[in-house]
Amino acid sequence: DTISREKREGTLGLLFLTPLTPIGIVFGKSLIHTLRAITLFLAVLPALALPFLLGGLSWKDCVVSLFLNSSALVLALAAGLLASTLATDSRRALVLALVLSLGFAYLFMLVHLHLFYSTLSKFLKLPFAPPTDFAWFLPDNLISQIELLISFNTGLGRDLYSYYGLGRMTPGEGWRFVWLNYPVPFHFAWLRQLGWLFVVSIFGFAAIAVLASWRVRHTWRLEPPSLRHAQLQKFFCAPRFWKSIFRSKMSGLLTRNPIGWLQQYTWSARLLKWGWCLGIVLLECMLVTAPSLSNVWDGQYLLASLLILGIAFTASGSFREERQTGAMELLLITPLKARQILRGRIRGVWGQFLPATVVLVSAWLWLL
């Protein structure tokens, strides 16, 4: 939200009155958040140093962790910076930043896995053919893919997925398996590859920063939507079928729960409601094709967690728009009491996620 907040508050134009350039603004904002992340890291550094001082970790473990976490920090910063320039609303910027961060993390872990095996094949004769593409590593279902990548990049995965080429590790053995079973020249070759990954992450961040500065230069003012945009929004987002039923339903909702009506009257709110439902349906269709029932239930727990986070995220910003537009003061001068306003908003938020919840619970009953 570092750039989008400046747009909403109208202070981005004031920054252009200074000698700062767009790229300077972007890098300055990035530096602030980088220093904040480094400060948090330094705060927990004494606790992180204890395993090393007690002999539980080697210096190689520390170097691997440093490269991986530094790359993750750079990519997360790039994702947040790009999302802040693409979205103006704080919630949309946050959601977009999370999506971009997950995408960058998945791509980084996939590249790391590829580099590990391609480097290992130069020092050892593997019991399988060297990989030719990324899909070679991955199982047939999404949950197994994620578990494989996370276990490999953290060294803390399940024994079933912690496979490094010559044998399976015991749970929690992690990267120590590499140091004990693979030749020392491979250790340094792998560390060099991790260093190059970190350098590539920095160059990727620089490229995204240049793109963000271009966006800042061309979109620093909040302009009203164009006529073409309004026509497209009306064509795709306005009700086109059963309009009388839709109006009757919204009128009844306004009569029964005016606060909940405020939560659901816009097309974006309706898109959120049925988008969650469609997303749960599509993910359930992917999960039921998993070969293992345990993977299916792991996916159910993940979907339930995502749904709970979505409800909490929507509820946390439910009164934000009313405060920004001044509608909150109008609500407070109505005969409605504060308790009624809160109860109506809770019902409105719950109504947005009711179809998705029904689909998820129905899937659980079917699996049982």
Give the separation between CA 216 and CA 210, rounded to whole angstroms: 10
Does 131 score more than 80 pLDDT? no
**pLDDT tens per residue, range 343-359:** 888 888 888 888 889 98
- Report if pTM > 0.85: no
Closest CA to 193 of 58, 63, 41: 63
pLDDT computed for residue 347 by the predictor: 81
CA dihedral (205, 208, 210, 211) in degrees, to 10, reads: 180
**Res 199 pLDDT > 90:** yes
C-alpha to C-alpha distance for 197 and 200, rounded to whole angstroms = 5
Residue 265 has pLDDT above 50, yes or no: yes
**The tokens of 362 are what?**
């129905």
* Nearest residue to 261 (alpha-carbon basis) of 335, 331, 345: 345
**What is the pLDDT averaged over residues 221-230?**
68
Share of the chain above pLDDT 90, in %: 4
pLDDT of residue 54: 82
Question: What does DSSP assign to residue 136?
Answer: G
Widest pairwise Cα distance in the chain: 78
Residue 69 confidence (pLDDT) above 90: no
Secondary structure letter of residue 168 according to DSSP = B
Q: Measure CA of the first residue to CA of the last residue in the chain; give whole Å.
A: 43
pLDDT digits (tens, 9 = 90+) for 133-184: 555 545 555 556 666 677 676 665 554 334 444 444 444 456 777 777 778 8
Mapped onto helix, strand or coil, the DSSP state of residue 144 is helix
Question: What gap in Å lies between CA 294 and CA 112, rounded to an integer?
Answer: 27
Q: Which residues, in sequence order, are bridge partners of residue 163? A: 168
Q: Which residue has the higher pLDDT, 22 or 260?
A: 22
Estimate to the nearest angstrom the gap between the alpha carbon of 84 and the chain centroid. Answer: 14
The pLDDT of 310-330, averaged and rounded, is: 75
Q: Is 37 exposed, middle or buried (0-12, 13-18, 19+ CB in 10 A)?
A: middle
Count of C-beta atoms within a 10 Å radius of residue 73: 18
Q: What is the pLDDT of residue 203?
A: 93
Q: Are 66 and 175 in contact (CB under 8 A)?
A: no
Mean pLDDT value across residues 321-332? 73
With bands split at pLDDT 50, 70 and 90, how would you rate the model's confidence at 288?
confident
Q: Give the least confident one: 24-33, 137-146, 193-202.
A: 137-146
